[in-house]
């Protein structure tokens, strides 16, 4: 008998590679043939194919009104003419809208949508509400279940008419591998020596794509004040993105000392192990994986006051919460963690205790329960 088929869709393969490899393996272990539909314009398709996933290149783009999304609709239609999928699990706003709409036209199996942070949220721009909120209300009729990863979005789902534990589910993010991200790991690393950071020093690390939303510029604005007061601190940025070059030029123009732009790296666990503080001051988050990874290493976090980050960080318990548009607020809170080693240790210990609920094993168990409720 032919294997049942599952389709996982997202705008780009990088999203699948970053967040959904454990899910893919879970589905394969359950005996399903896994397909993926994404755009390969950012690469990493090979990582998904290497898992034995059948990949379908679709010209999704993140901007909603681009002609490539019309092409994507035609490509998805062709895919659904060729294959019947027993379950479809969609991610990211544009890809999920297109796939949900076309799937119902072709009478595909149940469609689950994981919202990794609605683009409409408390404090978001009016345009987001005018554009994305009506789109999600329309797409609700094509959605068999909505999965959210933070409390604010769960409450929003209730207001949109979804019913808790029937067609609305909350999981603890996308999970973190506690076997890879481990405090006190004895793996050898020359990370500090590689970028000439002396011991003892305090390393503040931000792992994120360089976008306006991730707001790395706020850390750079805070840096002149901090580096003038503490000469043993170092700011490490990990990640690529359209704004990386812009911010590198800004740091150079301002002659900011002890700031490092490392680009994309495969050794995130090692970098975090050699860090003292993990930071993410985004304007919007769903459930930031990089903060979970830092917590698993035993690091205190300094994050912005946005949903998702608020779920992970309890202010003054396992980290500090700041305003994403107030540089002085960031400076004062960073000073606390820089100056007080005992506070860093206490918060790091609390982070280790809290992060266990976000483990891959726990999140996959939650997700598997959702899958089983839809006959898979």
Q: Where are the domains of the chain?
A: 5-174+360-373, 191-358
pLDDT class of 62 with cuts at 50, 70, 90: confident
Q: What are phi and psi of 133, to 5 degrees?
A: -65, -50
Superfamily of domain 191-358: Glycogen Phosphorylase B; (3.40.50.2000)
**In whole angstroms, what separates CA 223 from the centre of its chain?**
25
- Mean pLDDT in residue range 272-286: 96
Taking alpha carbons only, the member of 319, 311, 323, 351 closest to residue 336 is 319
For 61, the 3-state DSSP assignment is: coil
- Neighbouring C-beta atoms of residue 134, cutoff 10 Å: 11
105: pLDDT strictly greater than 90: yes
Question: What share of the chain in percent tops pLDDT 90?
Answer: 91
Query: pLDDT confidence of 306, banded at 50, 70, 90?
Result: very high
Is the dihedral angle over the CA atoms 307, 182, 218, 11 positive or is it negative? negative
Q: pLDDT tens across 186-242, in order?
A: 555 688 989 999 988 999 999 999 999 999 999 999 999 999 999 999 999 999 999
| Rounded Cα distance, 116 and 277, in Å | 25
Residues in contact with 218: Cβ distance below 8 Å, sequence separation at least 6, in sequence order? 281, 324, 325, 327, 330
**Do 5-174+360-373 and 191-358 show the same overall fold?**
yes
| Cα–Cα distance measured from residue 22 to residue 9, given in angstroms and rounded to the nearest whole number | 15
Other CB atoms within a 10 A radius of the CB of residue 91 amount to 24
Write down the pLDDT at residue 109: 96
Contacts for 370 with CB less than 8 Å, ≥ 6 apart? 112, 145, 147, 169, 171
pLDDT of residue 187: 55
* 243-253 tens-digit pLDDT: 999 999 999 99
For 5-174+360-373, give the CATH class.
alpha beta
Q: How far is CA 61 from CA 45, 65, 69, 71, in A?
A: 16, 9, 6, 10
Helix, strand, coil percentages for the chain (3-state, nearest 5): 45, 20, 40
């Amino acid at each position: 008998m032919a294997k049942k088929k599952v389709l996982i869709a997202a705008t780009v393969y990088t999203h699948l590679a970053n967040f959904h490899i454990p899910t893919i393996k879970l589905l394969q272990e359950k005996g399903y043939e896994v397909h993926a539909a994404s755009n390969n314009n950012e690469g990493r398709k090979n990582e998904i194919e290497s898992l034995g996933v059948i990949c379908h290149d679709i010209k999704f783009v993140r901007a909603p009104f681009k002609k490539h999304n019309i092409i994507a609709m035609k490509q998805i239609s062709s895919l659904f003419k060729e294959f019947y999928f027993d379950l479809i699990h969609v991610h990211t706003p544009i890809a999920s809208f297109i796939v949900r709409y076309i799937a119902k036209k072709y009478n595909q199996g149940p469609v689950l949508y994981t919202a990794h942070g609605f683009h409409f949220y408390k404090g978001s721009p009016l345009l987001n509400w005018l554009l994305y909120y009506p789109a999600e209300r329309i797409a609700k009729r094509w959605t068999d279940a909505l999965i959210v990863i933070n409390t604010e979005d769960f409450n929003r789902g209730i207001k949109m008419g979804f019913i808790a534990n029937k067609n609305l589910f909350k999981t603890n993010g996308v999970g973190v591998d506690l076997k890879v991200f481990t405090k006190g790991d004895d793996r050898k690393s020359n990370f500090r020596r590689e970028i000439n950071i002396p011991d003892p020093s305090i390393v503040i690390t931000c792992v994120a794509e360089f976008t306006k939303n991730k707001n790395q510029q706020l850390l750079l604005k805070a840096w002149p004040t901090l580096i003038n007061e503490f000469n043993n601190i170092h700011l490490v940025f990990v990640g690529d993105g359209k704004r990386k070059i812009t911010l590198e030029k800004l740091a150079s123009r301002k002659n900011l000392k002890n700031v490092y732009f490392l680009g994309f790296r495969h050794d995130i666990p090692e970098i975090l192990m050699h860090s003292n503080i993990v930071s993410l001051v985004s304007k919007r988050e769903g459930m930031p994986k990089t903060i979970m990874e830092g917590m698993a290493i035993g690091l205190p976090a300094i994050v912005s006051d946005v949903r998702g980050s608020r779920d992970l960080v309890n202010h003054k318990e396992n980290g500090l919460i700041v305003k994403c548009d107030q540089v002085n607020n960031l400076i004062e809170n960073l000073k606390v963690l820089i100056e007080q080693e005992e506070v860093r240790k206490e918060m790091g210990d609390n982070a280790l205790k809290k992060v266990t609920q976000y483990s891959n094993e726990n999140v996959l168990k939650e997700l598997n329960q959702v899958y089983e409720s839809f006959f898979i």
